[in-house]
Structures are given as C-alpha cells and as structure tokens.
Amino acid sequence: MKCLSLDHHKAGVAVRRRFAFSSAQRAALEAAFAGGGVALVTCHRTELYFDGEREEAERVLSCGGAPFLYYEEGEAERHLFRLAAGLCSMLVGEDEILGQLRGAYEAARLSGHTRGLDAAFQAALACGKRVRSETKISSYACSLATLAADAVFRCKDGEKRALLVGGTGKIGAALLKNLLAGGVRVTATFRRRGAFAAAEGAAGVPYEARYACVAEADAVLSCTASPHTVFEAEKLAPYCADGKKRLFIDLALPPDIDERVGAWENCTLLGIDGFAAAAAENNRKKAAAAVQAEDIVSACLAEYFAAECAKKYAPYLEKLDERERRALYALRKSDPAAFIARCRDEGGQG
C-alpha cells in the first residue's frame, strides 16, 4: 500500500479546497486503479491510499504542484494507523477522523475498490478503537464543533442568537447539540421540512431564507457539503449594514462564506484553520496520552505486519512440525519483529 497525503500541516484552505472531492469524484479516483484505492476527504485533508505506482496516483489526483506527501509501503500503513489513532489531526485525539476513515473505507469496499487494502484498513480501525479505550486521548471533549460552539458562547454577553446552515450533517448536528446545550437560541435551515424534526429546541427555516435570518443573528455558522458559496458577499451585505457585531464561522471545505466578509467592519470570520490556538491547547493537555497512543500504534503495526508475514510464508509454516509451528507462533505473539525475521531467514525468501 502507498499513500499521497495533503493536510493542514502542509497546505492552507486555498490549496486544500482544490482537492475537496465529492463522493462521486472520490469513487472515480478509486476506480482508476487496477489494484485497490481508497480516497479520504475531510475538512483538513485529502488522502489517497492505493496499490499502484506513485506517478499513476499523482496523475489521477492532478496534483499540480500541491505539496502532497508520499508514503511508501510500510510508511503508508504507519501513517494510516496514526491517522486512525487521532495523532495526525489538528485536534489530537478527536473522534471524528475515525468515523470519517471508516466511512471512506466502507464506501470504497462496497464499490469493490479495496482489493489488497482491506487488512490494513481493518487493522487500522481496530487500532484507533484500542487507542481510545486504553488512553485518555479522547478524554477532553474537543472537536471543531465544540471549538466553534465555544467561540459563539464568547461572542457577546447575555442571550445569543445563532443561524446554523448545514445542521443535518455530522459536524453540523454536533454543533447544533452543543449550541442548544449552551443556551443559544438557534435558527437552523432545512431543505426538506421534516429534516429538523429531531432538532428539539431549534427553530427551522427554509434554506432559501438564510440571508434574511442573518439580520437577527449574533453568530452565523455554516458547515455544508455544497461545492458553491452559501453566503455571497453581495447578497449578504444588506443584512450586515446595521453596525451590529457578528461572528461568522465557516467549517466547510470548500468554504461556504465569502472570505470578503472577514474584512467588513463589525464582522469577524473564522474558518477551519482559525482554531489553531485552541487546538494547540487541546494538544498540550493530551501530550502524555499521545505518547501512550504512539506506543499502541507501534504494537498494532507490529501485530499487523506479523499477520501479513504469516500469510506470505504460509507454505513454509505448513511444512513445520507441530512443535516448531507452536514455538514460532508463540514468538509471533511475544516478538512480532523476530517472527518476521525468522520467517524471512528460514522461509527461503530472504
């Protein structure tokens, strides 16, 4: 397995938005490989895991000089396991990435695009669950949704009104829940009238009414999967001309809110990368748990590579007598690296 990765460490939103592929585009990327292919796209990263040549993958992605990192066999698996453990996220230990990774893998698997990649992804997902159960890396409730809600809580004293667009998505649903729990009066848009039946406490309005609702809002939050701008500056301007201070939070990629809004008087615009300081504080608190998580990742990787080695050298292992086989499998459990070395040395494949 190999991987091409573009994330928030290497590229800002302006670059990442070029690779914010839709589900149909992701499926097309995966289908381009004769071997397996899994495309992962989140607000912070675009990654392609594949069984093929690097040049082929770069052509399929149309990298165009973007700073994609390339992971070869062995390192690609390590990166995948660390990603599942929450060690590569802007917010170390955030749980959303595990669900996003599982969703990307399942979508590719159901489309028949994961040949040769299944074992690695299944082991990585299991590793991510183990890290969260055996460490405190997820002990602090911290995600983009919680950080955004905290920003709304601080935007003014007293009662706060928020307009939320995209509240039926995963991040939006979490954001809506946090806002309501914090006592914010939320108006949320819907495209279908029944979409907000479960949003107890939120007022629902048609998506088409979003601009008019800005006038009453102290904070406007948008987190849709739309490829188009949800709030255009020209259409928004009349509703922001009253001098009222407003906080705009854009958690979408590509962005939902015209970046020019951030330059307006009395308007503050926070994008995905605007929560770096809060993320740094979260990561500082989780430093000890992150060290433990790295140890678990290393152990899980060793177990995975030993299992793959056992498959590769199955003919050699089958020729051993029962006593030798038991001894070797005991070694696999106690020292996976030594097991792999023994198989390579004695299995006749160097």
pLDDT in tens, 314-329: 999 999 999 999 999 9
Q: What are the φ and ψ backbone dihedral angles of 7, each rounded to 5 degrees?
A: -140, -175
With cut-offs at 50, 70 and 90, classify the pLDDT of residue 199: low
Residue 269, Cβ density class (10 Å: 0-12 exposed, 13-18 middle, ≥19 buried): buried
Fold designation for 144-275:
Rossmann fold (3.40.50)
Q: pLDDT-derived band of residue 95, with 50, 70 and 90 as boundaries? A: confident
Give me the helices (H) in the chain, please: 13-16, 23-31, 54-61, 75-84, 96-110, 118-134, 144-153, 170-181, 210-213, 233-236, 276-285, 287-312, 314-319, 322-334, 336-346
Residue 26's pLDDT is what? Answer: 95
Q: Which residue did the predictor score with more confidence, 240 or 191?
A: 240
- Judged against a pLDDT cut of 60, whether residue 350 lies above it is answered with no
Residue 259: pLDDT band with limits 50, 70, 90:
very high
State the Cα–Cα distance between residues 105 and 114, nearest whole angstrom.
Answer: 8
CATH 3.30.460.30 fits 2-134, yes or no: yes
Residue pLDDT, tens place only, 265-302: 999 999 988 888 888 888 888 899 999 999 999 999 99
pLDDT at 139: 76
Annotated catalytic sites, by residue? Answer: 43
What pLDDT does residue 195 have?
A: 56
Domain extents for the chain?
2-134, 144-275
What is the pTM assigned to this prediction? 0.84
* The pLDDT of residue 241: 93
Which residues, other chains included, contact 264 with Cβ-Cβ below 8 Å and sequence gap of 6+? 237, 240
pLDDT at 7 over 50: yes
Please tell me if the domain spanning 2-134 has the same topology as the one spanning 144-275.
no
Confidence category of residue 94, pLDDT binned at 50, 70, 90: confident
Element (H, E) at 69: strand 69-71
Q: Are 98 and 141 in contact (CB under 8 A)?
A: no
